[in-house]
Structure 1
Amino acid sequence: MTCDSDVELARLLATHAGVILLRLRTRRPVPASRLKAEGDRRSHDFLAAALAKLRPGDAVLSEEGTDDEARLTARRVWIVDPLDGTREYSEIDRDDWAIHVALWEDGELAAGAVALPGLGPTLSSENPPALRPAPARPRILVSRSRPPAYAEAVAEKLDAELVPMGSAGAKAMAVLRGQAEAYLHDGGQYEWDSAAPVVVARAAGLHTSRVDGSPLSYNRPNPYQPDLLICRPELSEPLLAAIAASRG
């Protein structure tokens, strides 16, 4: 595999990691805990080896890898989640899991891709699909297991429907694909959970920020990120106002 384009490389790597994970998932049944661990490991090993070969001068921040502090002085850092939504991946009838590959360069997210192997497509920051017309009643995606405590209050203020879903990448891409109008998270994440979804969402014209409206930043010493909002641009102001009024 060779690729001069960073965004095309992100797309190819995320897609191929998805193929690896689908093959693993469809072999003889194994316990969920083993499937999750092996899926994480195999996808990470492939992505780490491919990036080391194809972009040897770049740093890598991966959920499954050791955090090398050399990334803090690097110009280019690949931020990778080899398997986002491990719980959903281990539930064979679910398709809300993803692979994230993003490039941070000179202080900004520069390129990225999110593969959705259970659904088929890989969406990238190059030529993302156009936003579809929004329905009258907005749909807000939240975590299956950790929805924000104030999510119901926000939904009530906006007459919105809350929709639980797994995987940050699956939720962000559902907004992009017209299956929802917003994705709200407030319960802790890490940079690899949102870097690729955010750069793809931005390329499509979606709003991305913290839940207080402040900008997201990446390749920080501590990769923890407390919260995230991705939504259609026309919903950003009313959503941020509803969040501010509901958080207390």
Structure 2
Amino acid sequence: MNDHELARKLARETGTLLMGLRNHAASLTGGEDETHSVLAEEVLGSEGDRVAHDYLMDQFSIHRPSDVVLSEEGDLEVARLNATRVWIIDPLDGTAQYSTGGSPNPSQISVASVAVPARNELWSMDEPVQRYQPNNTPIRILVSRSRPPREIPAVIKKLEATFPERGPVEVIPMGSVGAKVGAILADKADVYFNSGGFYEWDLAAPLGIAVHNGLSVTDCSGNPIELNKVNLKVNDILLETK
């Protein structure tokens, strides 16, 4: 199978694996006291990260044994910098939401594919392009659920002054980057920005899906985002419709 087919396959299978693990954990924790439930959530989060990472690494060793894999849960050695082919993966994006039963729990594989099994969504670069259709409804901005940008009040003020015909700006908190990209492509939002910082594995697959579907992807200064760098930190991101 080609890279796109493999990415799609692994994203789907990892998502199914994670949902099965979470459903099994839920069946064991029902009716327990609060302290036990909190501990169970912590264990589920760490176990989900580990199981998904181990499964993906095993699959890459079978299907792409000579490729280098950069994973949030793996070895960050710098051999990847001179490698011809590097996969950037986030086995479980949104660990906190996953462990507490929240909806977005994407598995992100870069060629790119993003699976959101709790929503029955799978985005891949081997699919036809989905062009966003702008309209005159209120501008909807996606922000981090846990770390909304401190600049958001100023951004809202400027947007409402620039586009008065769109009415009051709506702010929508949401979990992972993959879920946010899916929301824009599904016409549930218009813009996503974050100034709180990321690591490359948080962004790689979702940004591939965004670019494939014609969205603008830059940092907050308008510069392109580069991946597989020595410093894996990405300071900020602006993702919007063109």
Partner Cα distance (1:134, 1:198) in 2 = 23
- 1:44 is paired with a residue whose SS is helix
1:201 equivalent in alignment to 2:216: no
* Residue correspondence of structure 1 range 31-70 to structure 2 within 5 A: 31-70=40-79
Name structure 1 gaps, 5 residues minimum: 103-110, 234-248
Residue 157 (structure 2) aligns with = 156
- 2:47 is paired with a residue whose SS is helix
* Residue correspondence of structure 1 range 106-121 to structure 2 within 5 A: 111-121=111-121
Larger deviation, residues 15-24 vs 177-186? 177-186
Residue 88 (structure 2) aligns with = 79
1:12 equivalent in alignment to 2:20: no
RMSD over equivalenced CA pairs, Å: 1.2
Partner Cα distance (1:143, 1:128) in 2 = 26
Of residues 17, 24, 42 in structure 1, which corresponds to 2:21?
A: 24
Residue 164 (structure 2) aligns with = none
Residue 91 (structure 1) aligns with = 100
Equivalent pair of 1:132/1:177 in contact (CA under 8 Å): no
More strand by share: 1
Instruction: Give the superposition deviation at 1:125.
Output: 1.5
Counterpart of 1:192, as a letter, is W
Of residues 153, 156, 171 in structure 1, which corresponds to 2:180?
A: 171
Partner Cα distance (2:108, 2:129) in 1 = 15
Instruction: Give the superposition deviation at 1:133.
Output: 4.0
Residue 242 (structure 1) aligns with = none
1:188 equivalent in alignment to 2:197: yes
- 2:5 is paired with a residue whose SS is helix
Relative to structure 1, the CA distance from residue 51 to residue 128 in structure 2 (aligned partners, 3 Å threshold; closer, same or farther) is farther
Structure 1 vs Structure 2: percent identity of aligned residues? 42
Task: Render the CA deviation track for 1:167-196: whole Å, top value 9, x for unaligned.
Answer: 111112211111100111110100000000
Equivalent pair of 1:17/1:43 in contact (CA under 8 Å): yes
- 2:171 is paired with a residue whose SS is strand
Partner Cα distance (1:56, 1:138) in 2 = 45
Instruction: Give the superposition deviation at 1:36.
Output: 0.4
Relative to structure 1, the CA distance from residue 155 to residue 112 in structure 2 (aligned partners, 3 Å threshold; closer, same or farther) is same
If the length of structure 2 is used for normalisation, what is the TM-score? 0.88
- 2:147 is paired with a residue whose SS is coil
Instruction: Give the superposition deviation at 1:158.
Output: 1.0
Partner Cα distance (2:205, 2:22) in 1 = 23
Equivalent pair of 1:98/1:117 in contact (CA under 8 Å): yes
Residue 139 (structure 1) aligns with = 140
Counterpart of 1:72, as a letter, is L
Report the count of equivalent residues: 221
Q: Name which one, 1 or 2, has greater alpha-carbon Rg.
A: 2
1:100 equivalent in alignment to 2:108: yes
Task: Render the CA deviation track for 1:19-41: whole Å, top value 9, x for unaligned.
Answer: 00000010123611001000000
Equivalent pair of 1:62/1:192 in contact (CA under 8 Å): yes
Name structure 2 gaps, 5 residues minimum: 30-36, 161-168
More helix by share: 2
Partner Cα distance (1:78, 1:187) in 2 = 24
Partner Cα distance (2:190, 2:214) in 1 = 12
- 2:196 is paired with a residue whose SS is strand
Equivalent pair of 1:80/1:192 in contact (CA under 8 Å): yes
Task: Render the CA deviation track for 1:6-60: whole Å, top value 9, x for unaligned.
Answer: 1111111011000000000101236110010000001001111111110111101
Equivalent pair of 1:125/1:201 in contact (CA under 8 Å): no
Partner Cα distance (2:125, 2:136) in 1 = 25
Instruction: Give the superposition deviation at 1:87.
Output: 0.9
Partner Cα distance (1:230, 1:125) in 2 = 17
Larger deviation, residues 200-209 vs 120-129? 120-129
Residue 106 (structure 1) aligns with = none
